[in-house]
Amino acid sequence: MSDLVTSHRIAAQLKKQILKGKYPPGTRIRQEDIADEFKASRSPVREALRILEADGLVTLIANTGAWISELSLSDCEELYQIRERVEPLMLKLSLPNLTDEHISMLITIKKQLEKTNSIEDFLELDREFHLLTYEGASTMLLGPMVERLWNTTQHYRRAYSRMLETEGFKPAHLEHELLLNAITRKDIEDAERILYGHIRRTRLELEKHPEVFI
């Protein structure tokens, strides 16, 4: 429906490319380049850039241009602290509405997550896993907000994951196990606490690797 609209199509495509890491943080985006790539004029590109700005993926500066958003270490810490508080809320709202299908899908993803050796796959699957736990919350407000938090930290999760040895992923896997267990039991309090700890631990790990940041 609204994907027929050129600006939305461009925004969606660009977003995919950015999340996949095609443009690293700090890269300048020229409107005309994008326009050429999508065989469109600059008008829809400008609208697409505004959409991506709202998603936190690019930063616009008037009369100057657009850049792929860049985070400092303290920005990233802040985002993680927001996640620590917001995502447990979303999980709490979602949990009562998660069906057995959701749970069996979570089990599948978790198995793949433990098997893979590829960073790219890990990022993708981890994102899928967590966002799926939030699927029960039928929300037009929290959902986009949480997605935005994931989007803006994506590059730094990638950079950080690269620095980890296989052993480094162990805690995440254990936490996923615990989380899935709490979800299956529909234990909201426990699930919230585990998720909080999961995000918090990741933040503290990230703080040990300041070399990832500008």
| Residues lying near a second copy in the complex (CB under 8 A) | 1-2, 5, 8, 43, 46-47, 50-51, 53-54, 61-63, 75, 78-79, 81-82, 85-86, 89, 93, 139-142, 145, 152
Closest by CA position to 52, among listed 22, 75, 86, 29: 29
Q: Between residues 62 and 141, which has the closer beta carbon with respect to DNA?
A: 62
CA distances from 106 to 4, 138, 149, 168 (A): 32, 18, 21, 22
* β-bridge mates for residue 170, sequence order: none
62 touches DNA (CB under 7 A): yes
140 touches DNA (CB under 7 A): no
Judged by CB under 7 A, how many residues of this single chain contact DNA? 22
44 touches DNA (CB under 7 A): yes
Q: Between residues 13 and 139, which has the closer beta carbon with respect to a second copy?
A: 139
Closest by CA position to 91, among listed 60, 134, 121, 58: 134
| Out of 20, 22, 30, 186, the residue judged to bind DNA by CB under 7 A | 30
Q: Between residues 59 and 161, which has the closer beta carbon with respect to DNA?
A: 59
* Residues in CB range of 60: below 8 A, 6 or more apart: 49, 50, 53, 66
Q: Between residues 15 and 128, which has the closer beta carbon with respect to a second copy?
A: 15
- Report, in Å, the least distance between residue 140 CB and DNA: 18
Identify what 42 binds: a second copy, DNA, none; CB under 5 to 8 Å per kind: DNA
CA distances from 119 to 8, 22, 122, 140, 161 (A): 29, 15, 5, 31, 7
Footprint of DNA on 6-25 (CB under 7 A): 6-7
Within 39-190, strands assigned E span 58-61, 65-68
Terminal-residue alpha carbon distance, the chain: 40
Alpha-carbon span 202 to 160, nearest angstrom: 10
CA distances from 207 to 104, 160, 213 (A): 34, 10, 10
| Out of 11, 19, 29, 146, the residue judged to bind DNA by CB under 7 A | 29
145 touches DNA (CB under 7 A): no
- Report, in Å, the least distance between residue 20 CB and a second copy: 23
Backbone φ and ψ of 117, nearest 5°: -115, -5
Q: Between residues 37 and 121, which has the closer beta carbon with respect to DNA?
A: 37
Identify what 145 binds: DNA, a second copy, none; CB under 5 to 8 Å per kind: a second copy
